Amino acid sequence: MSSCIVCNQAAGRKLLTFRALEVQTLPIRDIGGERKVQALGSFHEFCVCENCAKARKERNLDVGKTIRKKMMCFGAVSVAGILLIVADILLLRRDRVFFMLGLFAVLCGILGCVQSYREAKQKRDSLNRMKEEEAVLDSAWELVVEHAPKKDGDQDLTYIPVTKKTLSYKNGDIMIAYNLLPEIAVEAHKRIHS
């Protein structure tokens, strides 16, 4: 019997099961730049219990909880930038390099906070527009993506879920949505529909 990928419990819980096609990507870096080689792996089954999915949905609906950790990081960057500016003004007698570095850090911190808030608000709004059942499934898939293996040796692993939405995709849609090479998108489309 399968267990939840998040809490590893299965007894007495309703499990949401996802079937997903594995995509293996090997980034190749050389003098000419970076390119990638992709291959399709096998189908995998992932399970998430309904309790974990509902907890993630509730967390996504609370923007404050969603961005707390990111805000602390970006806030620390802003504070470090302010400290650099103050140190430059008080101790270094206006050395422009440290002043500009501090200004850049403050700006990056503020922009990071704003972007984190926008992403969390956009996620909350999209969940609010969905039906309850669809929102729980979306949150469950988010948990699968977060907890599924992401590396196999040097290869990066991603997954394409086999859902009504992905079954309605054409080759180009799959290619864009999952960042696939054109020939891999065609093969993925065939394998998902088989």
Per-domain residue ranges for the chain?
15-54+131-193, 66-129
Q: How wide is the angle at C-alpha 107 spanned by C-alphas 104 and 108, nearest 5°?
A: 85
What Å distances lie between residue 117 and 120, 176, 192, CA to CA?
A: 5, 25, 35
The pLDDT assigned to 34 comes to 83
CB 13 within 8 A of CB 4: yes
DSSP alpha helices (H): ranges in the chain?
A: 50-61, 63-90, 96-129, 132-147, 164-167, 171-177, 182-193
Q: Which tokens hold the place of 115?
A: 């972007």
Give the residue-averaged pLDDT of 87-109: 86
CB 28 within 8 A of CB 18: no
Residue in the block written with tokens 């065609």: 186
Query: What does the radius of gyration of the chain's CA atoms come to, in whole angstroms?
Result: 22
Mind listing the pLDDT tens digit for each residue in 13-44?
788 889 999 999 988 888 888 888 999 999 99
The pLDDT assigned to 87 comes to 85
Identify residue 119 by its one-letter amino acid code. Answer: E
Mind listing the pLDDT tens digit for each residue in 133-150?
888 998 999 999 999 999
Q: Which tokens hold the place of 80?
A: 């470090």
